[in-house]
Amino acid sequence: MTDSTLLPYLPDLVMHQIIQRLPTKPAIRMSCLSKQWEGVWSALRILEFDEGNQPHDDDDDDDDDNHTHAKFLNILARYLEFRQKDKQQPPLDKFRLCMTYLDADEDAIIGKLLSNLFERNVKDLDISLRSKHQKVESYYCLPRTAIINAKSVTTLNLEHLRIKDIHNIPEPMLPSLKTLSLKTMQVSGPALFYLILGCTSVEHLSLTSCSFDPPVFLISSSSLKSLEVKNCNLQHIRVDEAINLESFILVSEFSTLEGVLLDKSFKLSSMKIRDQHLSYFGLSECHDSLEATINTPNLVHFLFQGSIKSKVSLSAPNLQIAHILLKKEFSTFKGPWQHFDILRDFLEAFSCSKNITFFIRDFKDIIFPADFKRTFHPPFPSVEGVKVVILNPPTKETESSKLKVSLVWMAPSAVEIECDSLSEHRGLNM
């Protein structure tokens, strides 16, 4: 049967249009029906190459696996050959590559592939290069040229790669990038810091099962809106001046994470944390309407600076000390009890702590009315120690007496209640 009798009623132009609307695998098969259609699939706006199930470490299957892998590499080579023959490089909306990475011998074809993708101004790039042998991991290192030339990429998903040596790349890097997802990556902490710093438009960052060296993650980004960290081998996380960050998710079941600090995330309104080993968590200057769920069974020290309008659900049975810095906002509340009902509910969220230190501007802000105390139960029924640091402390004996009575009601089981002037505490911003 000749090519002309296979599909006699469809001209080449129509077939080209049909092929270019098919998914990658059917398009390749369709192109094989005629030499005139050969390579048409390489101009698709969406290309997905998936090697399929990753090979197992089974010696009996090695020959079949190697044969399958060689065929897959041949398809990639054919793609590059077709694109080299065609002087036009049509735009590429999405490119996905999921394959086994054996060793550095494959770096050349991957590098050429990336170069072609950037020539085609790829927008959505998804690359997964899993090592064949899980016991001996081999990672492809993302080349510097890829970071420099990927100016059109808006979404970047990387899995089983390495990132390093980025600190001296001219900024901005990946200027169009909005979403970055890294999964099972080997990451240099400083390299990722400079990468995010240079991505001036990035809004969403996700890190899953990544290995950091050193195990510290520091990020400062004025464009970032959401940050998600799951099961990474980190000891410390610091988010500094992410002024547009709205959402933060931290999940870890087995990590050795010790401390997390979020500073000056003024728009942060949603936060979910579940970590088994976290011992310190600090949140400084977040959105007034923050809703936070924190499940940290080994948390020892918690620092919060923000509004009493925040809704915090805290599960931390081993919490030893909670430091709470309250914003100056009490005068904005109106009504018979003004701010007292909201303040009591807010403080109750920290009642799992053995000791609590909170900072306020005026002592009158925590002198609860007598009828209020008769109506509601205290916020700290089991707290052992309470310390209040006040910017404007009482100056009269009667005022000091009222303050003491209020504190005793707040923490009826406390064996130690202490008041102090804020003038003794330098560097606090209230």
Indicate the pLDDT class of residue 310, thresholds 50, 70 and 90: very high
297 pLDDT more than 90: yes
User: Which residues are within 8 A (CB) of 337 and not within 5 positions of it... i.e. 6 or more apart?
Assistant: 369, 372
Q: What is the mean pLDDT of residues 227-254?
A: 94
- Express as a percent the part of the chain with pLDDT over 70: 86
pLDDT of residue 62: 62
Arithmetic mean of pLDDT over the chain = 87
77 pLDDT more than 50: yes
13 pLDDT more than 80: no
pLDDT of residue 42: 86
290 pLDDT more than 50: yes
Q: What is the mean pLDDT of residues 288-311?
A: 95
pLDDT of residue 1: 42
pLDDT of residue 63: 65
* Structure-block tokens of residue 218: 């520091």
Coil, helix or strand at residue 371:
helix
pLDDT of residue 3: 47
pLDDT, tens digit, 9 for 90 and up, residues 123-151? 999 999 988 655 446 789 998 888 889 99
Provide the strand spans (E) within 245-299: 247-252, 259-263, 270-275, 280-284, 291-295
**59 CB-contact burial (10 Å; exposed 0-12 / middle 13-18 / buried 19+):** exposed
pLDDT, tens digit, 9 for 90 and up, residues 80-89? 999 998 878 8
Q: What is the mean pLDDT of residues 238-256?
A: 92
Indicate the pLDDT class of residue 207, thresholds 50, 70 and 90: very high
Indicate the pLDDT class of residue 253, thresholds 50, 70 and 90: confident
Indicate the pLDDT class of residue 107, thresholds 50, 70 and 90: very high
Indicate the pLDDT class of residue 12, thresholds 50, 70 and 90: low
Q: What is the mean pLDDT of residues 273-299?
A: 95
Number of H helices, E strands in the chain: 10, 24
Q: What is the mean pLDDT of residues 84-97?
A: 90
222 pLDDT more than 90: yes
Cis ω for the linkage preceding 379 (within 30 of 0): no
pTM passes above 0.85: yes
Residues 289, 266 contacting (CB under 8 angstroms): no
In angstroms, the CA 360 to CA 122 distance is 53
Indicate the pLDDT class of residue 381, thresholds 50, 70 and 90: very high
395 pLDDT more than 80: yes
Per DSSP, 329 falls in state -
pLDDT of residue 168: 73
pLDDT of residue 428: 47
pLDDT, tens digit, 9 for 90 and up, residues 326-374? 888 777 776 666 899 999 999 999 999 999 999 998 899 999 999 999 9
pLDDT of residue 57: 43
> What are the percentages of helix, strand and coil residues in the chain, rounded to 5?
30, 30, 40
Coil, helix or strand at residue 63:
helix
